[in-house]
Amino acid sequence: MIKDQLRVGFAQMAPVWLNRQATIEKMLDYIQQAAKQDCQLLCFGETLLPGYPFWIDFTDGARFNSPLQKELHAHYLEQAIQIERGDLDAFCQAAQAYNMALVLGVVERPIDRGGHSVYCSLVYIDADGQIKNVHRKLQPTYEERLCWSPGDGYGLRTFPLGKFTMGGLNCWENWMPLPRAALYGLGEDLHIAIWPGNKRNTEILTRFLAREGRSYVISVSGLMRSSDISTDLPHGELLQEKAPEWMADGGSCIANPDGSWLVEPVANKEHLQVVTIDHARVRQERQNFDPVGHYSRPDVTQLTINRERQSTIRIKE
C-alpha cells in the first residue's frame, strides 16, 4: 500500500430480511469477495442486519395496540443483534482474518438498556477484529420512532485508519449540523454515511458532505424489494401484497474531498465496489477551507458534546 492510499469499498445488498443468521452469512460472503480485491475497509447499509422496519410504512404502523404490529415487532426483537451475546463474533473473526476494517449497520438490542428495546446502530470493527465503537442513532426519523429508541452521544468518535481519520453517522443524522461538526472537530477526513437505501438521499447529500468536510464520503445503502419478503415471516403474505415493488433502491456512492464523484450512485442492483482513495486529496482541499481549523472561530462558536452512555439506572453498591 502506498503511504497515503487506502482501499475502501461498499457492499450494496438486500438482507435476507428479518433473518439474522442468513443475513450474516450473506454479508460474510461479500467480505470474502472484498478481501480478494485487497479491500481494507468495507461498509454496509443502515440496519441491514437483520433489516430495516419497512412494514411500518405500509401496514398502518401507528395504530395503537395493533396485534399485527405487536407480532412483527416481537419477531424484530427476536432477530435483532445482541453484541453481548456474541452475535457479531463472525464479523470480528473475518475482519482479523482478512485484515479488513468493517462498518456494519445493525438493529441492536442492548442489554445495557434492559434488553427489550432496539436501536439503529453503526458498529465499527477494526482490522484486528475488535469492536471499537457502537454508535446508536441519535434521533430515529419519522415512522422509525414507532420502532427504534433514540440513542446517545457515546458513539460520536473517530478512529485512525491508515493516514485517514474515519467517522460515521446513520441516515438522516447526516443532515444534523452539530453531529457532523462533532466528527469534524475530532479530525474526521473519511466520513461513512449509512442508509437503508435510496438514491434520492445519497445523490443530494453525499457531495455536499464531502464539500463541507473536505473529506472523502462513502454513502452505503441497502436494497429491498417486495420479492425479498419471505412468506415464512409473520404476516408474510400480507406484507408481500401491500409492499411496493422497491422499498429501497440503493444509491451507494463515493465522493471526493472536492465534492466530485469518485463513484456515482449505483441503483437497483446488488453491487460490490472497491476503490483506492488518496489522503493527499484531503490535504489539497484543506488549503482553502478547513471547517474546524483555519476556517473556524472557536472564540465565537463552540460545540459541547455529551459522550456519556445513557442508562435508566445508576447502581451504587
pLDDT at 2: 64
Distances in whole angstroms, Cα of residue 5 to Cα of each of 10, 47, 164, 280: 17, 29, 9, 8
Grid cell for residue 17: 430480511
Grid cell for residue 151: 440513542
CA angle in degrees (0–180, nearest 5) for 164-179-114: 105
Handedness of CA 179, 292, 257, 165 (dihedral sign): negative
Q: How far apart are CA 314 and CA 69, in angstroms?
A: 32
Q: How far apart are CA 304 and CA 194, in angstroms?
A: 24
Counting every residue written for the chain, the total comes to: 317
Q: How far apart are CA 92 and CA 174, in angstroms?
A: 26
Q: How far apart are CA 30 and CA 9, in angstroms?
A: 11
CATH class of 5-285: alpha beta
Q: How far apart are CA 110 and CA 160, in angstroms?
A: 26
Cβ-contact 282, 256 below 8 angstroms: no
Grid cell for residue 163: 493516514
Give pLDDT tens digits along the chain (317 positions): 468 999 999 999 999 999 999 999 999 999 999 999 999 999 999 999 999 999 999 999 999 999 999 999 999 999 999 999 999 999 999 999 999 999 999 999 999 999 999 999 999 999 999 999 999 999 999 999 999 999 999 999 999 999 999 999 999 999 999 999 999 999 999 999 999 999 999 999 999 999 999 999 999 999 999 999 999 999 999 999 999 999 999 999 999 999 999 999 999 999 999 999 999 999 999 999 999 999 999 999 999 999 999 999 989 99
- Helix (H) / strand (E) containing 285: helix 279-285
Beta-sheet pairing, 101-108 with 41-43: parallel
**3 state SS of 191:** strand
DSSP letter at 111 equals G
Grid cell for residue 103: 462498518
In sequence order, the β-bridge partners of residue 272 are: 11
Handedness of CA 111, 113, 117, 120 (dihedral sign): negative
Q: How far apart are CA 7 and CA 283, in angstroms?
A: 18
Cβ-contact 173, 120 below 8 angstroms: no
Q: Which residues are catalytic?
A: 46, 137, 171
Q: How far apart are CA 155 and CA 43, in angstroms?
A: 17
pLDDT at 6: 98
End-to-end CA distance of the chain: 51
Beta-sheet pairing, 101-108 with 119-125: antiparallel
Computed on alpha carbons and rounded to an integer, the radius of gyration of the chain in Å comes to 19
